Chains A and B, each alone.
Chain A
Amino acid sequence: MGASETMTPAAREPTRERAANYLLERHRFGWAEALPWLIAIAAFFVFPDRMTFGSQVLVMVMFALSLDLILGYAGIVTLGHAAFFGVGAYTVGLAAARLQWTEPISGLFAAAIAAGIVGFISGWFLLRYRGLTLLMLTLATAILLQETGNLRSDISGGYDGLPGLTFKPLLGIFDYDLYGHTYYLYALAALAVVFFFVRRVVYSPFGQALTGIRENVRRMHAIGSPVHWRLVTVYTIAAAIAGVAGALFTQTNAYVTLTVFDFDNSAKVMVMLILGGTGRLYGAFVGAAVYMVLEDYFSKLSPTFWQFGIGLVLVLTVLFAPRGLLGLFEKVGEYFTGRKHS
């Protein structure tokens, strides 16, 4: 490419068009994106007696999706994401048990706001740090919230939790049914709304800036990006969404205990996301679904075997499939189509 490359304006046009189109095309909905939703709806008809389990899968998909914003897109590693899940879960739980507020949809909003506030405050303080320091601070935050709940176990129900919660019918019409049908569709609708919102954020200029922060934060500072504010913003959004997931958890289980804040929960959602593949939105779907199904099957067979298996899967994933299952699919796809993706 050494020779002088004076292109006439006319000759430059095709490249311009190609470049502009490339950027525009990427954000359109691909047909493959309909797949997870079709599968989710199909499951409703194919497995009508597993709908309570299905709701739990959808809850975890939402939870993993919220983590993808932080981990996959902004590149921040934390160990306390369960904190926001727990705040959301307890907002709904406490409202129902102590304030007799049992309207479900407003509960989701309240949970989002509460978790978002906690996310904003903790993010503003903690996101100045990285590495082990951030891991420990976020872990400690989740545990401190849990311990606070334990302190006032008279309010929170402690580790026994708040059982037997009931909720008003959705929109005044659709009531909870024994097979969890209503709640499955409700969770699916909530997930769809949240996902639509997350997808817009990720493909927006803001989302692009997040990728920039992940790829090269030094460069971002040098071009004038308000890095800390970007991170606090995405952290708050992710916290709010995790809160909605927690709220759904309480609503679909009619029960909440302090174990929602466990480190186990933070680790589990991270494993799901890694399994599916970070930074791809749909990694949350694949990872959470695969994990939950495998867990459901194997932990009934033998909890010990399940734990060993998930440990092994983690090790193998890190060694051989660092971009998760979606990454593997992509590789297979590349092999067949001969095209490389970024």
Chain B
Amino acid sequence: MTAALQVEGLNRAFGALPVTRDVNLTLERGARRALIGPNGAGKTTLVNLITGVLKPQSGRVVLDGNDITGTSQAERARRGLARTFQINQLFRGLTVIENLCMTIGERDGHCNNMWRSAGSRRLVIDEALDHLDSLRLTDDALKLVRELPYGRQRLVEIAIALAQKPRVLLLDEPAAGVPSSESHLILDVVAALDPDIAVLIIEHDMDVVFRFAKEITVLVQGAVFTQGTPNEIMNNEQVRAVYLGQESHRGGRQGMHHG
């Protein structure tokens, strides 16, 4: 069966500095893969290459069997590739529901319509509210995004990605910057994602990684260091040395991950 996302031999350098070196990665349908690595390993750069924000110098990106290496960022999004940013990229001056309606409108081509009032598209509004419901954001629907606490803004960021009805979802440190009192909101959402979506999550927090991931890719200095199941990675001495270091993850590793 064709993989949802396939990355082959991706290479990218900034001037003389290689930031992505011959990366191969496969996401099957329903994948739950974590991308980990030390700071500066090039994780976000890899996501930028996959989503089309950056162009690779060599290599291919294949989505559902289609080569999308030459396509634009927007085109990839339209084909079912969604992402969240490490720092929220929201429409801060608009209400939460408008953020969602905008996303759905662009997805379904509503935004090509110049004549009918945006408010009259009942279907879009209903779907937007459904998404908000599933993320427990309904009460915030009419609030301006910039008035929400950061944790809830992060939820909106994820809501937007989900509203794109993606086949492949790339989450860039979804819990980053969220106060620990609110981080469970994010984690619950990530845990409850549609099993059909292939998900790649960049994460630093090992608890999150082990709770969520079925597979882990370790990126070091732009190249894939090793890949494997959480157990394999945990027991890999080299990974410990390079990345986990002295720091043991919080006692009582939650060995059970989602299967």
A binding-site residues for B, Cβ under 8 Å: 1-2, 5, 7, 12, 15-16, 18-20, 22-27, 200-201, 203-209, 211-212, 215-216, 218-227, 230, 342
Contacts and interface: CB of A to CB of B under 8 A. Distances in A.
Interface stretch (B37-45, B95-103, B249-257): B95-103
A203 B118 contact: yes
Contact of A205 (B53, B76, B110): B110
A222 B73 contact: yes
26 contacts: A1-B152, A16-B126, A19-B129, A22-B95, A22-B142, A23-B119, A26-B119, A204-B115, A206-B112, A207-B118, A208-B102, A208-B118, A209-B106, A211-B94, A212-B94, A219-B89, A221-B74, A222-B51, A223-B77, A223-B102, A223-B160, A224-B76, A224-B106, A225-B74, A230-B111, A342-B95
Nearest to A217: B89
B101 A23 contact: yes
Contact of B103 (A2, A20, A215, A223): A223
A204 B82 CA distance: 25
B246 interface: no
B167 to A, nearest CB: 13
A22 B129 CA distance: 13
B114 A226 contact: no
Contacts of A201: 114-115
A208 B95 CA distance: 12
B118 A205 contact: yes
A207 B114 CA distance: 7
Given A19-B129, A200-B115, A205-B113, A224 B77 contact: yes
The 7 closest A-B pairs by CB, nearest first: A224-B77, A23-B119, A24-B119, A224-B78, A209-B111, A206-B114, A27-B117
Interface in B122-147: 122, 125-126, 129, 133, 136, 138-139, 141-142, 144
A129 B126 CA distance: 37
Contact of A227 (B74, B76, B92): B74
B164 interface: yes
B107 interface: yes
A16 B101 CA distance: 13
Contact of B139 (A1, A26, A204, A220): A1
B155 to A, nearest CB: 10
A15 B133 CA distance: 10
A18 B72 CA distance: 38
A215 B114 contact: no
Interface of B: 51, 53, 72-78, 82-83, 85, 89-95, 97-98, 101-103, 105-107, 110-122, 125-126, 129, 133, 136, 138-139, 141-142, 144, 152, 160, 164, 181-182, 185
Nearest to B89: A219
Given A5-B136, A16-B129, A203 B77 contact: no
A313 to B, nearest CB: 26
A208 B98 contact: yes
Nearest to A206: B114
Contacts of B102: 208-209, 212, 223
A204 B120 CA distance: 9
Contacts of A342: 93-95, 144
Nearest to B77: A224
Contacts of B160: 219, 223
A203 B83 CA distance: 28
A18 B95 CA distance: 13
Contacts of B120: 24, 27
A286 to B, nearest CB: 21
Given A216-B89, A216-B91, A219-B89, A23 B107 contact: no
Given A219-B89, A221-B77, A223-B103, A20 B125 contact: yes
B105 A205 contact: yes
Nearest to A19: B141
Contacts of A206: 111-114
A205 B78 CA distance: 17
B219 to A, nearest CB: 22
A12 B222 CA distance: 47
B58 to A, nearest CB: 23
A342 B91 CA distance: 12
B168 to A, nearest CB: 13
A204 B116 contact: yes
Contacts of B141: 15, 18-19
